[in-house]
Amino acid sequence: MQELVNKVLNNSQLEPKLADEIMTIGRLKKVKAGGVVISPESDSNEMPIVLEGLLKVMRRDPNGNEVFLYFLEGGETCAMSITCCIEGKKKAFNVIAEEDSVLWMIPMGHIDSWVVKYPSFRKFVFDAYQTRFDEMLNTIDSVVFLKMDERLYKYLLDKKQASGSFVINKTHEQIANELNTSRVVVSRLLKQLEKEEKIEQHRNRIEIL
Amino acid sequence: MQELVNKVLNNSQLEPKLADEIMTIGRLKKVKAGGVVISPESDSNEMPIVLEGLLKVMRRDPNGNEVFLYFLEGGETCAMSITCCIEGKKKAFNVIAEEDSVLWMIPMGHIDSWVVKYPSFRKFVFDAYQTRFDEMLNTIDSVVFLKMDERLYKYLLDKKQASGSFVINKTHEQIANELNTSRVVVSRLLKQLEKEEKIEQHRNRIEIL
DNA sequence: GATCGTGTGTGACAAATGTTACATCGGACG
DNA sequence: CGTCCGATGTAACATTTGTCACACACGATC
């Protein structure tokens, strides 16, 4: 376990001293696929770093509609958690475990002092922001510039990329929720993608070709 | 002019010493309405703070389509510039003067050391990130959850809010570009809004009621 | 193997949005 | 005043997306 943390921290190029601190101060958290890591209701004051697995960040509107925003992969952290915690604001998003995942939770209290002390941590934080902005812009691109069929296909490819697997275990209904459309539409478009031989469909499972 | 800078910096609650530094190191820049402040091509290494006026941030896709993301008002800065400059990455957005504006341009070289030295600057930067994330989420909400008529009306209200004026001097074509739709659609929906007595239309000008 | 719940396929239709074409209007300018 | 150009209005139609209804398929369980 310690090795896992170390490995991730090393990959992030954090100074050994900082890695030590993070190691000492943080705590391990395991989440099963589908489990909630962060929700608007929870006011945890911890910043999660993904050690293993995959998280997904979703936006939910007041009427209960949802959209998928982006994934958080190994070594990444949730930039929005940082700002929210610092500002003490309510989170405006949900973070859900897309796969069984292992997280390292760091109490926010130390962020400020680490930013001051460790150049590598500043870089880590700014990198996180940069990446998240990119992902958000990417999401906006999909939603604004693409038609639903392209958006769906892009979603499948992203998921493949993030999970490292050609197989996607989701129902049409679940996918429809993440794209904020209806199940029927997803079925229709998936059928189309199948005809174009871009995917293969099975029950509860889609294979990217 | 110095007073203007000072006023804005004070409103941002920056320490006097930092305000001094910013004052000394920055430079004034004036942009006329419609002028480009940041574009993917420009690789300026400066972070703009809005002293007066209004900037708008637009996303452009490879095909030349655009969408409006959010406004930058007095006292605000472009968080994405910060990360981009730090990472030396190409900007993925355009910043355009929505009105004649006055900016204070700060070379990025100092950011890192200020983050270390000044708590108030850390707060300033994190605030900027927080606000931008909120704006982005807001944009995503509009685009994903709203129909075009609602989105258009929200756009008009946002613009009114940001400019502080009930009058919007834009053509239907310009609005269509910012919402990434067609002129005809905008005309249609604006007519509708007029019937609902939410707006009044004139040539090149819309009044919010 | 019969039953049941959930997931998927599909037709028919409705609503929203995009497109094309053309008419009209208003202001600028000669 | 007449001309011209860009801005707006509008009809007709195409495409995309959403909705409803229902059939069918698959796997689990008894």
pLDDT tens per residue across span A151-197: 999 999 999 999 999 999 999 999 999 999 999 999 999 999 999 99
- In this structure, what are the phi and psi dihedrals at residue A30, rounded to the nearest 5 degrees? -110, 140
Query: Of B29 and A62, which is predicted with more confidence?
Result: B29
Rounded distance between C-alpha atoms, residue B53 and residue B36, angstroms: 14
Output B162 or A6, whichever has higher pLDDT.
B162
B12, pLDDT greater than 80: no
pLDDT attached to residue A174? 95
Distances (CA, A) of B65 to A145, A169, B60, B70, B179: 8, 34, 6, 16, 10
Domains and CATH numbers, chain A: 2-143 (2.60.120.10), 147-208 (1.10.10.10)
Task: Please give the pLDDT value at position A141.
Answer: 95
How far, in Å, CA of A128 to CA of A181, rounded?
Answer: 30
DSSP string computed for B41-79: S----EEEEEEES-EEEEEE-TTS-EEEEEEE-TT-B-H
User: Which pLDDT value is given to residue B4?
Assistant: 75
Question: Which chain A residues touch B135 with a CB distance below 8 Å?
Answer: none
Q: How many CB pairs under 8 A join A and B?
A: 97
| A37-51 mean pLDDT | 86
pLDDT band at B91 (very low <50, low <70, confident <90, very high): confident
Whether B129 and chain A come into contact, CB under 8 Å, resolves to yes
Which residues is A47 bridged to in the sheet? A106
The predicted structure's pLDDT at residue B79? 80
pLDDT at A85: 66
**Nearest to residue B65, comparing CAs of A133, A179, A143?**
A143
| Segment A115-162, tens digit of pLDDT | 889 988 988 888 888 888 889 999 999 999 999 999 999 999 999 999
Kindly tell me if the per-residue pLDDT of A93 is higher than 90: no
Rounded CA Rg of chain B:
18
Mean pLDDT (chain A, rounded) = 89
pLDDT tens-place string over residues A4-32: 777 777 777 888 888 888 888 989 999 99
Phi/psi at B111 (5° precision): -55, -50
| pTM of the predicted protein model | 0.89
Name the band, by pLDDT with cuts 50, 70 and 90, for residue B136: very high
Strand C close to B25 by CB, under 7 A? no
Residues 6+ apart with CB under 8 A from B182: B176
Helix axes B183-195, B172-179, angle to 10 degrees: 110
Give every CB contact of residue B50 below 8 A, 6+ residues apart in sequence. Answer: B8, B72, B73, B74, B75, B76, B77, B101, B102, B103
Backbone angles phi, psi at B64, to 5 degrees: 90, 0
Beta-carbon contacts of A121 under 8 Å, excluding residues fewer than 6 positions away, are A14, A15, A18, A114, A115
Q: Which residue has the tokens 């950011």?
A: B111
Among B70, B111, B116, B133, the residue to mutate for chain A (most A Cβ within 10 A): B133
With 70 as the cut, is the pLDDT of residue B41 above it?
yes
Please list, in sequence order, all residues whose beta carbon lies within 8 angstroms of the beta carbon of residue A64, skipping any fewer than 6 positions away.
none
Residue B64 has pLDDT above 80, yes or no: yes
